[in-house]
Structure 1
């Protein structure tokens, strides 16, 4: 029995065969494959983060190769994600000689930041040319996922989500949404409205609004919706125009980040006593360094927030995090892992334990 258990544990943790680039998996058009980033490592000599800038940090990547059977538009569809954290996977698509970064040309770099089903558009791929796909767990996330390169897009477009406002959260659960459908989307039949709280794995569709015409046959251009937030938190809205034609991918019309709290300001322009914030220690690090802060619950390791910024005055406001929900949950301190990439010199990491306290007013 012990031997069987050890074998099962080994299989669960074993690396996929394409962990190394020389064993990259060949993808056929329309084929759907299942894989996982768990147990994967990084061949540092085969990647160069200078090519992708702030888009990606390599932790547990794996490699694929795709050769289009015909020239044209293709979509990388990523779905069925099941991850340890919320962040999902990240994807780099490039050309060049495998494991020779000096020859690489990056076509697309996407950090998904969600476990929604998503697609990345790759226009004008050339028939027979090899394209390399590198999939990695975003910010050390471990994920199982499905991957496909197809002529048809599936899911929602992989675009950067809007930032939740750094100001004091609203005290009303009522959110007013308004958007327009341009004439260029003549085949669109309806708009989908998605909402996701930042700790949720996937977005929820809250409305499917038909695109209508007036009595003169003209398409209605403007739409509005009133939504009620289900509870305290930080939310992302996405509004997309879609059709029933599988050859026409969805188009994002609007994205919006909002925050809601039950704390009420004592007077306009002030914050009620007990509103807690966490100020990340920017002064500990060189100016113009690129910093990534991963805030976790020190009791169980659960991730609470991830913030990436360049250490300069224009981005300093990102370093003040609204922390009242953490304080309300009983936390009095949080663990913070910091990765610092100076403008000159080698990257390094710090592991901090920072207190939470309500400011005095």
Structure 2
């Protein structure tokens, strides 16, 4: 007789084994500084920060200040054949979060932080294609490149050391200001072309704070007046249709041999009109019952009249002095001017005039 054999379905332990194999494969060899990847000029290679760990004895965060906190770094090295300027191009980022990667370039003996000299440190907050300019590199000098996921972001990316830039200049993203709201979604940017920059045009990029990458929102050509004199001042208008905070970047570009330059970075915010109403209560307590009140509300910044109303104060009706301010906030109005006049037989017998900060 044949013996019946018991076959079991793969259990949890087997599934965990497969997961571990997948994780191990995700970790790149150059996670370890001893296995750092050697880059050749104009050679673009793919890598990723997933599963990488930090060799704490090989890094020193005090050398880079607040620029970098190491979470999942990896190592490359580059030795230029000739002295000169080079660009580290990072492109094709696909990350778990918005933040992208950060880059440190240094000289020194591998895993001996006491010998390190920081050449460049770049922390981004997006997944844009960027380049970092490395000036006056020396031939036959080895440079170490450390790439880390910004705040432990898990990223796949392409890195290249080249004599030509690719993407936009790397720059620290400014903090979103408390103000700088736009009215009715209308945005106008102003900038000047510095005398030190040779350019033929400008790219205007826009990225909402939660988005991964910036998109080109328009272009402006460098212009001359009727006498052939180069114009210095430029502007660009845009309209925002969805609430959010938007980063605008203006990049000057020129011929093939000219390096793009970041001219301007500026946040603009379009507020969302909250579902719950936002009220401001006018101070009417000092006025007697049945007093005739004329109230005028204007935008303190522009003088535009927002609301006018005349009524007789009624006892136990505080809603008479309530102002709904949602739309004003959404339009970027920060401060209003309130003028209250008490009238009797069409004559003004008392009045007050004061400013109200809607942000507080």
Does the alignment reach a TM-score above 0.5? yes
Tell me the CA shift for residue 191 of structure 1: 0.4
Matched-pair contact (CA < 8 Å) for 1:168–1:271: no
State the secondary structure of the residue aligned to 1:53. coil
Tell me the CA shift for residue 57 of structure 1: 0.6
Q: Structure 2: how far apart are the matches of 1:37 and 1:182?
A: 38
Tell me the CA shift for residue 179 of structure 1: 1.1
- Name which of 252, 262, 266 aligns with 1:256: 266
Matched-pair contact (CA < 8 Å) for 2:71–2:148: yes
- Name which of 104, 120, 127 aligns with 1:115: 127
Q: Structure 1 residues 23, 166: closer, same or farther in 2, change over 3 A? A: same
Q: Structure 1: how far apart are the matches of 2:38 and 2:65?
A: 27
Question: Could you say which residue in structure 2 is the equivalent of 1:139?
Answer: 151
**1:238 lines up with 2:253 in the alignment:** no
Q: Structure 1 residues 110, 168: closer, same or farther in 2, change over 3 A? A: closer
Question: Could you say which residue in structure 2 is the equivalent of 1:96?
Answer: 108
State the secondary structure of the residue aligned to 1:252. strand
- Name which of 203, 207, 227 aligns with 1:192: 203
Q: Structure 2: how far apart are the matches of 1:113 and 1:17?
A: 26
RMSD: 2.9
Deviations along 1:218-269, one digit per CA (max 9) or x if unpaired, are 2222111111113111111100110131x32101111111211033885768
Matched-pair contact (CA < 8 Å) for 1:154–1:249: no
- Name which of 168, 173, 177 aligns with 1:161: 173
**1:37 lines up with 2:49 in the alignment:** yes
Tell me the CA shift for residue 161 of structure 1: 1.8
State the secondary structure of the residue aligned to 2:75. strand
Q: Structure 2: how far apart are the matches of 1:102 and 1:230?
A: 52
Residue segments in structure 2 that go unaligned for 5+ positions in a row:
1-8, 281-296, 301-322, 327-359
Aligned length, in residue pairs: 277
State the secondary structure of the residue aligned to 1:94. strand
Higher-Rg structure is 2
State the secondary structure of the residue aligned to 2:147. strand
Q: Structure 2: how far apart are the matches of 1:271 and 1:222?
A: 40
Q: Structure 1 residues 13, 86: closer, same or farther in 2, change over 3 A? A: farther
Deviations along 1:15-67, one digit per CA (max 9) or x if unpaired, are 10100101111110110000000010000010011111100010000000100
Q: Structure 2: how far apart are the matches of 1:271 and 1:41?
A: 53
Q: Structure 2: how far apart are the matches of 1:171 and 1:57?
A: 38
Q: Structure 1 residues 222, 137: closer, same or farther in 2, change over 3 A? A: same
Tell me the CA shift for residue 202 of structure 1: 0.4
- Name which of 75, 82, 89 aligns with 1:77: 89
Matched-pair contact (CA < 8 Å) for 1:13–1:38: no
State the secondary structure of the residue aligned to 2:21. helix
Question: Could you say which residue in structure 1 is the equivalent of 2:229?
Answer: 218
Q: Structure 2: how far apart are the matches of 1:40 and 1:176?
A: 43
Residue segments in structure 1 that go unaligned for 5+ positions in a row:
274-360
Q: Structure 1: how far apart are the matches of 2:172 and 2:264?
A: 12
Q: Structure 2: how far apart are the matches of 1:262 and 1:103?
A: 52
- Name which of 178, 189, 196 aligns with 1:177: 189
Matched-pair contact (CA < 8 Å) for 1:87–1:141: yes
State the secondary structure of the residue aligned to 1:92. strand
Matched-pair contact (CA < 8 Å) for 2:180–2:267: no
State the secondary structure of the residue aligned to 1:241. strand
